[in-house]
């Protein structure tokens, strides 16, 4: 990292005013007839968001892979059993699990207002999901792609449906020490890193760019409908996400030391995309809690909304190509599974 980049990041990290917060009045809006699904709601940014939506009256469905952890998290929100908090098992590594989750949700609920595709992993070793996708691509992106498509009919029943996808600044650029920064891209010819050398950050970057492009194409497909979608960067946040890179819980100390922000700050752009009036927010837009990376966009430290400097992220042709590939990959996986 160049010295000036490093100084800029330090400056932003210590100037708390550069974080963007939703208006206090938004946090008093009544969400009592809203139904929300949050993937990975048991931890970090997802948990913080679940807690706030529940506080404002929404029914929150925890979509989690580890029911034990999820029950503990729910107890931290309310000690009493409450119909407004539901828990349905979801393992994004398995398309079967995604299907089972939506079958259960569809039977229980008539409509869906808010879908937060939050669950994610970063920095894992090379491995594959149950359907043969590189783990980060499969969990972060393909699982959510399938989940969202299976829930569209329920989202259509809402008068104001919002889908929020979690990206990262790494959708644009990822660091490859000791080399310089690398531009994020979708490897259409080798999406699962079967032939190219595997780099976990490159794979994470691909999965987060995929979520960005997914948002853009989804917004296009559902323009002029009641369904809006947004892509959100939470910033660098103190959560469990670093557990695959730094073992034994030491990542918690590291993140404090490095001044990563709180899950509350990380949840702000998500809450904004849910709580802002639908006439004031444009589907497909990108929201970030902070603008660490985009130093070339002068005067725009963080943005509501902002523009990604990534050419790929803003390319509708790439977005459509990825959508078509994702449809094919999901269909093929399901067919293979049925044949097995």
> What are φ and ψ of residue 206, in 5° steps?
-60, -45
Q: Give the residues across from 233 on adjacent strands.
A: 288
Of residues 141, 204, 222, 251, which has the active-site annotation?
A: 204
User: Rounded to the nearest whole angstrom, what is the least distance from the CB of residue 250 to ligand NAP in the complex?
Assistant: 15
Residues near ligand NAP, by CB under 6 A:
39-40, 42-46, 64-66, 69, 90-93, 118-122, 139, 166, 168, 234, 236-237, 239-241
Nearest to 147 by CA among 326, 287, 316: 326
> How near is the Cβ of 171 to ligand NAP at its closest, in Å?
9
329: its two tokens: 């990959």
| Per-position DSSP letters for 31-96, written without gaps between them | -TT-EEEEETTTSHHHHHHHHHHHHTT-EEEEEES-HHHHHHHHHTT-SS--TTEEEEE--TT-HH
Q: Which is nearer to ligand NAP, 130 or 156 (CB)?
A: 130
In the complex with ligand NAP, which residue's Cβ is closer, 12 or 158? 12
CA distance from start to end of the chain: 49
- Does the active-site annotation cover 287? no
Alpha-carbon torsion, ordered 268, 270, 272, 275, to 10 deg: -130
CB of 120 to ligand NAP, least distance (A): 2
Q: Which is nearer to ligand NAP, 128 or 226 (CB)?
A: 128
Cα 161 to Cα 226: distance, rounded to the nearest angstrom:
6
Shortest Cβ 266–ligand NAP spacing (Å): 6
Nearer to ligand NAP, 90 or 227 (CB): 90
Least distance in angstroms from the C-beta of 242 to ligand NAP = 7
Q: Which is nearer to ligand NAP, 45 or 306 (CB)?
A: 45
Cα–Cα distance measured from residue 49 to residue 263, given in angstroms and rounded to the nearest whole number: 9
Compare residues 29 and 77 and give the one whose CB is closer to ligand NAP.
77
Least distance from ligand NAP to the Cβ atom of residue 109, Å: 19
Distance from C-alpha of 114 to C-alpha of 232, rounded to nearest angstrom? 14
The DSSP symbol for 163 reads E
In contact, 38 and 61? CB cutoff 8 Å: yes
Verify cis geometry, omega within 30 degrees of 0, for the bond prior to 124.
Answer: no
Catalytic residues: 204
């Amino acid at each position: 990292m160049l010295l000036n980049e490093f100084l800029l990041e330090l400056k932003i990290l210590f100037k708390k005013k550069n974080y963007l917060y939703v208006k206090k009045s938004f946090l008093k809006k009544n969400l009592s007839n809203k139904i929300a699904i949050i993937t990975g709601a048991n931890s970090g940014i997802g948990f913080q968001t679940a807690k706030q939506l529940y506080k404002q009256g929404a029914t929150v469905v925890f979509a989690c892979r580890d029911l034990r952890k999820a029950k503990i998290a729910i107890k931290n929100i309310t000690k009493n059993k409450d119909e407004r908090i539901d828990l349905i098992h979801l393992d994004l590594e398995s398309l079967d699990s995604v299907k089972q989750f939506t079958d259960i949700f569809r039977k229980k609920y008539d409509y869906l207002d808010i879908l937060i595709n939050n669950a994610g992993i970063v920095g894992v070793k090379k491995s594959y999901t149950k359907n043969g996708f590189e783990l980060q691509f499969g969990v972060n992106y393909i699982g959510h792609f399938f989940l969202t498509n299976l829930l569209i009919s329920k989202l259509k029943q809402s008068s104001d449906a919002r889908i929020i996808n979690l990206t990262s600044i790494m959708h644009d650029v990822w660091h490859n020490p000791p080399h310089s920064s690398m531009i994020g891209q979708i490897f259409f010819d080798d999406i699962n890193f079967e032939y190219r050398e595997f780099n976990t950050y490159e794979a994470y970057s691909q999965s987060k760019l995929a979520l960005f492009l997914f948002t853009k194409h989804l917004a296009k497909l559902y323009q002029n409908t009641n369904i809006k979608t947004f892509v959100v960067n939470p910033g660098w946040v103190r959560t469990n996400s670093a557990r695959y890179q730094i073992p034994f819980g030491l990542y918690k100390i590291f993140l404090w030391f490095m001044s990563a922000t709180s899950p509350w700050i990380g949840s702000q752009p998500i809450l904004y995309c849910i709580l802002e009036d639908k006439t004031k927010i444009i589907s497909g837009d990108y929201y970030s809690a902070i603008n660490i990376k985009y130093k070339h966009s002068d005067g725009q430290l963080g943005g509501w909304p902002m523009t990604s400097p990534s050419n790929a992220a803003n390319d509708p042709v790439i977005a459509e190509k990825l959508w078509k590939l994702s449809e094919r990959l999901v269909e093929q996986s399901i067919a293979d599974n049925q044949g097995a």
